[in-house]
A and B are shown apart, each in its own frame.
Chain A
Amino acid sequence: MTTEKAILTQDKTWFAACRVEDVVENGGVCIKYGDEQIALFYFTRRNEWYATQNECPHKKQMALSRGMIGTKGEEPKVACPFHKKTFSLRTGECLTGDSCSIKTYPVKVEDGLVYIKVDIH
């Protein structure tokens, strides 16, 4: 339902998700935003932040925030802990050849707080 909302409305807002130190280095945590679960990744090695849906579209498991992150070439990616399907953290595209993709969210850090751009519920 969230995807469908995103298409029909343009109403977005920056949501203050957590503090920088709440997030593991070079890994992910799960953010609760209403009924939405967002995987937030701090790619410390590259000093980059990413956010995606937490659900792996393959078997619909809320698990991507527990996955290992890394790169394929220059492309940052996350591997689902269940069956190691990998997805681009930048575009959400599946990198292991499946047609499924994941939603991504813009992230910004200000004054030690991490903000995620989300659809207004």
Chain B
Amino acid sequence: MKIIVVGNGMVGYKFCEKLIAKKLPNAEITVFGEEQYPAYDRVHLSDFFAGKKPEDLSLAPASWYADNGIDLHLGDPVQYIRPAIKLLQTHKGHIRNYDILVLATGSSAFVPRIEGIEKQGVFLYRTIEDLHLIAAYAKKARKGVVIGGGLLGLEAAKALLDLGIQDSHVIEYADRLMPRQLDESGAEILTNTLTSLGLSIHTGKNTARICGKESITGLEFTDGTSLETDLLVVSAGIRPRGELAVEAGLETGMNGGIVVNNFLQTSDPSIYAIGECALYNEMIYGLIAPGYEMAEVAVQEICRLSANSTQRTREFTGYDMSTKLKLVGTDVASFGEPFANGPEVRNIILKDSAKGIYKRLNVTADGKYLLGGILVGDAKQYNLLLQTCKNRILLPQHPEDLILPVREGKKEEGTGITALPDEALICSCEGVTKGAICQAVSDQGCETVDEIKKCTKAGTGCSGCLPMVKDLMVHTLKQQGKYVRNVLCEHFNYSRQELFDLIKLHELKTYNEVLDQLGKGDGCEVCKPAVSSLLASLWNEMVLTKGNDTSQDSNDRFLANIQRGGTYSVVPRIPGGEITPEKLIVIGQVAQQYGLYTKITGGQRIDLFGAHVSDLPAIWSALIAAGFESGHAYGKALRTVKSCVGSTWCRFGLQDSVSFAIEVEERYRGLRAPHKIKSAVSGCIRECAEAQSKDFGIIATEQGWNLYVCGNGGSKPQHALLLATDLDSATCIRYIDRFLMFYIKTADPLTRTATWLNKMEGGINYLRNVVVNDSLGMGAQWEAEMQALVNAYQCEWKVAIETPEIRKRFNHFVNAPGEKDPTVQFDSLREQKKAANW
């Protein structure tokens, strides 16, 4: 059987892939494609500007066709078809007979008739060829305009930004962006977000004329306004490529779409049409998923013919046009009936203009079923909502919960996935159901998302379903009772606590020694900082020595916090929050000299933002000369010990909370731990220092101090619990020594004290027994170990600026020391600066 495919786009390729998989005997497949490249991923075309090469977008190399016996002709469009004698001729003069002809000619960009559209600098946005032309022309363009505020138009606008055209505009004829997917409010939120990213949006504009002599210089609109530009990209929709079919006398629709039946047959039974050129039920399906479905149906139909069977297994009955995409970094989704309205419909709408979020659900009036909806800015729930809508799953009593932000006490996942039926379509690009994914895990032993992708193809298209695939995998594994050992990563088969003991036992001092003796492979971004933290907690040696610098988390490696744009923030230690006027002045002078943004932190100190990496040593030299030292704001280490003024000034104060806070902070400064540690000392029970929200907090009593432990603020605030009462200062310090050493030795990586306690069997009573009653008999040893760490303390920044080997690493360019990163950009805000948006 001679099968000829006309068109080598995504759907044409998918057809070949599916047909090859059927291993039809006697099938001779020939493909004629118009473009020079073998089929490529048009969905991700704009990635080309973000650094992808044509090869990266390729679906299969030319060799794939050869390996599978397909005769591939590129750059050779078909010129005419003679259905009566089942024959076609191509541009290069090939004349072929066929038994079955498949038209997958796709669509072309719709070019509106505007005066001046032929001028130089006017482009379409459809093929890699178009992108080459745009990229070349963009070099001399400073302003760019896109006509078309739909899906592809906004992709094109992002491409202009990626090409460095900062003054980019979008023109939309309708009164809002993406009129097919979004309602007015959704489009308004999207417009605001895009505007903040630097795009200018003009809606309700009809272009009358393109101005300029040979090259474009601007646009004139029917309302009399105009806009100057150097470059124009037209993206005003698509037109199916039906010319061949029209010429061959096949039945076609208004816009040239080739009319097909439920089996993708055209009016000539030997000719099929699939993808964007096919007109089914008076509709063109301009998305990839329905195109793939059409390819599947056509393949099955051809197999049926080949086998002389009369039994039809699959037919095309239309396709859900729900979409989710990321436009210029913003989620946009619409599903089901996005605009459903009227007395039979209940609309639930959430709109947050500050956060750039808009969500709309259309629910049946009785609140039982989801009809459709729109999501802008946050489309995390898209898959779940789509499945709920498609499978007509009964809605919960309060359907609004589905789109409300998750708050404390509610589980992020849960209700959704388990409730879905096995036939729920999870990956709509490849048509993979929930059942198939769960089966891949339970029957075929897939235990990673990558394995599932290989096994089922789920998530290999637009990849939007991957979070759901992962949740399904975890859920299925749990159901099988699979135990996951709590090891650090693929390089260490130990938990953090086991490693702590082993490193101590073997007296290992560097990351490489630890990896050589206790691990395997070459390390990664998970075990490197975890082991570095253990080494620091055990030996308290300067973290950047002995080749340990590159095994530190980036912030520790540069002893500063990396911020948006790649500059750093600087936080000198201000123990207890007490500072002299002289030191305050120095901070101000340093900030002025190096142009830094200054802000008071939550921990009673001052953060200086916007420092170039090469300025850090000089900034710290000035600070250290004035008596400051590192604040370790960059480390998983003791941060601050806040205090209120206590008995020195306050009429209620019972003890000198400031002096004790300074004593505590200076004792534990630089102490590295599984996570950051915060503390505070309050002078009385009014608790102005908020000690009960800290990892350890101290509150003055008439007799001494009450010690609270394991509180934290952050995403899950938790109050600290009372560990011991009415302690004298020395006992209080001893208990804190023991408490901290116990935590450092036994907590998992990146676990705050609150979480550590929550997981501890016996809870606070057990902890009290260990720390106060010394039930493990470790008290004396822990106190001695802590004293050793305290004695080994040195200011890391002092060492860094005094050691030339370390100091020279604080440069952006190794081959141009001192030169700053030219891509760093700031905006101004309230007389200071801020990092430019990303």
By a beta-carbon cutoff of 8 Å, the part of chain A in contact with chain B is 1, 3-4, 6-8, 17-18, 22-27, 29-32, 35, 37, 40, 43, 45-46, 53, 55, 57, 59-63, 66-73, 76-77, 79, 81-82, 84, 86, 97, 99-103
B313 on interface, CB distance cutoff 8 Å: no
Quick one: which of B136, B164, B522 has the most chain A CB within 10 A? B522
**In the assembled complex, which residues on chain B have CB atoms less than 8 Å from the CB atom of A72?**
490, 524
Query: Which one, A40, A84, A86, A100, contacts B47 given CB within 8 A?
Result: A100
**Quick one: given A25-B547, A76-B522, are A1 and B51 in contact (CB under 8 Å)?**
no
Question: Of B54, B522, B822, which contacts A45 at CB under 8 A?
Answer: B522
Q: A1-B135, A62-B821, A66-B562 are in contact. Are A46 and B522 (CB under 8 A)?
A: yes
Q: Which of B44, B48, B813 is most buried by chain A, counting CB atoms within 10 A of its CB?
A: B813
Please, which residues of chain B bring their CB within 8 A of the CB of A31? 813-815
- Docked Cα-Cα span, A63 to B812, in Å, equals 10
Residues of B within 8 A of A35 (CB): 822
The answer to whether A67 and B525 touch across the interface, beta carbons within 8 angstroms, is yes
| In the complex, B28 has a CB within 8 A of chain A | no
The residue that B50 contacts in the complex, of A32, A57, A68, with Cβ under 8 A, is A57
The A-contacting residues of B in range 542-561, CB under 8 angstroms, are 547, 549-551, 553-555, 557-558
A79 CB contacts on chain B under 8 angstroms: 524-525
| Contact, CB under 8 Å: A103 / B522 | no
- Are A22 and B550 interface neighbours, CB within 8 A? no
Contact between A27 and B550 (Cβ–Cβ < 8 Å)?
yes
* Min C-beta distance of A98 to chain B, whole Å: 8
| 6 nearest A-B residue pairs (beta carbon) | A27-B550, A81-B554, A70-B524, A79-B525, A29-B814, A32-B813
- B523 near A: Cβ within 8 Å? yes
Q: Which residues of chain A come closer than 8 Å to B809, judged between CB atoms?
A: 24
Contacting pair A18 B838 (CB below 8 A): no
**A3-B53, A72-B490, A81-B554 known; A63 vs B562 contact (CB < 8 Å):** yes
Residues of B within 8 A of A43 (CB): 522
Closest to B613 in A: A66
Across-interface contacts of A103 in B (CB, < 8 A): 51
Given contacts A45-B512, A66-B558, A101-B52, contact A86 B547 (CB under 8 A): no
Residues of B close to A27: CB separation below 8 A: 549-550, 557
Q: A99 near B815 (CB under 8 angstroms)?
A: no
B522→A86 contact, CB < 8 A: no
Q: How far is the CA of A30 from the CA of B614 in the complex (A)?
A: 13
Is there an interface contact between B524 and A77, defined as CB atoms closer than 8 Å? yes
Q: List 14 A-B contacts (CB under 8 A).
A: A7-B53, A27-B549, A27-B557, A31-B813, A45-B522, A53-B51, A63-B566, A66-B558, A66-B562, A71-B523, A72-B490, A81-B555, A84-B525, A101-B51
> Which residues in A have their C-beta under 8 angstroms from that of B819?
32
Bound together, the chains give a CA A72 to CA B525 distance in angstroms of: 10
Q: Does B521 contact A (CB under 8 A)?
A: yes
The bracket for how many chain B residues form the interface is: 35 or more
B838 neighbours in A (Cβ, 8 Å): 59-61
With both beta carbons as reference points, the residue of chain A lying nearest to B134 in the complex is identified as A4
Q: How far is the CB of A10 from chain B (nearest CB, A)?
A: 13
Would you call B512 and A6 a contact (CB within 8 A)? no
Decide: A7 near B54, CB < 8 A? Known: A31-B815, A99-B463.
Answer: yes
Q: Which residues does chain B contribute within 8 Å of A60, judged by CB atoms? A: 838
Residues of B within 8 A of A1 (CB): 135, 139, 163-164
Contact of A62 among B50, B551, B566 (CB under 8 A): B566
A82 with B549: CB separation less than 8 A:
no
B51 near A30 with CB under 8 A, answer no
Which B residues are closer than 8 A to A by beta carbons? 44, 47-54, 56, 132, 135-136, 139, 163-164, 449, 463, 466, 490-491, 512, 515, 521-525, 527-529, 547, 549-551, 553-555, 557-558, 562, 564-566, 809, 812-816, 819, 821-824, 838
Residue of A nearest to B138 (CB): A1
Residue in A18, A29, A62, A71 whose CB lies within 8 Å of B823: A62
Output the residue of A31, A32, A43 with the most chain B CB within 10 A: A32
Residues of B within 8 A of A97 (CB): 449, 463, 466
**Knowing that A8-B132, A45-B523, A97-B449 are A-B contacts, what are 18 other residue pairs whose CB atoms are under 8 Å apart, sorted by A's residue number?**
A4-B135, A7-B54, A26-B512, A29-B814, A37-B823, A46-B522, A57-B50, A61-B564, A62-B824, A63-B554, A63-B566, A67-B554, A69-B550, A71-B523, A79-B525, A84-B525, A97-B463, A100-B51
B contact residues around A30 at 8 Å (CB): 812-814
Distance of A84 Cα from B44 Cα, bound (Å): 23
Question: Would you give the shortest CB distance from B588 to chain A, in whole angstroms?
Answer: 29
The residues of A that contact B47 with a CB separation of less than 8 Å are 99-100
Cβ of B551: which chain A residues have Cβ within 8 Å of it? 26, 68
Whether the Cβ atoms of A71 and B463 lie closer than 8 Å is no
Cα distance A66–B521 when bound, in Å? 21
Candidate in A4, A29, A62 with the most chain B CB atoms within 10 angstroms: A4
* CA distance in complex: A17, B550 (Å): 20
Which B residues touch A77, using CB under 8 A? 524
Q: How far is the CB of B292 from chain A (nearest CB, A)?
A: 18
Return the chain B residue nearest A35 by Cβ.
Answer: B822
Partner of A99, one of B44, B529, B553, B822: B44
Given A1-B163, A26-B550, A27-B549, CB of A71 within 8 Å of CB of B821:
no
Q: Which residue of B lies closest to A42 (CB)?
A: B550
Tell which of A40, A59, A67, A99 has the most Cβ of chain B within 10 Å.
Answer: A99
Q: Which residues of the partner chain A approach B815 to less than 8 Å between Cβ atoms?
A: 17-18, 22, 31-32
In the complex, what distance in Å separates the CA atom of A1 from the CA atom of B52? 11
- Residues of A with C-beta under 8 A to B164: 1
How distant is the Cα of A102 from the Cα of B53 in the complex, in angstroms?
10
Given A45-B512, A97-B466, A100-B47, also A24-B566 (CB < 8 A): no
- Give B163's nearest chain A residue, CB to CB: A1
B528 touches A68 (CB 8 A): yes
- Residues of B within 8 Å of A63, CB to CB, are 554, 562, 566
Report the separation of the CA atoms of residues A114 and B131 in the bound assembly, to the nearest whole angstrom: 35
CB distance from A73 to the nearest CB of B (A): 8
Out of A3, A24, A57, name the residue touching B550 (CB < 8 Å): A24
Query: In this complex, what residue of B is CB-closest to A97?
Result: B466
A46 to B49, CA, bound (A): 33
**Cα–Cα, bound, A74→B562 (Å):** 29
Which residues of A lie under 8 Å from residue B816 when comparing CB positions? 32
- In the bound complex, residues from chain B placing their C-beta under 8 Å from that of A6 are 53
Look across to chain B and name the residue whose beta carbon is closest to the beta carbon of A23: B814
Cβ of B521: which chain A residues have Cβ within 8 Å of it?
71
Residue in B132, B527, B823, B824 whose Cβ sees the most chain A Cβ within 10 Å: B823
- Pairwise interchain contact A86-B525, C-beta atoms closer than 8 A: yes
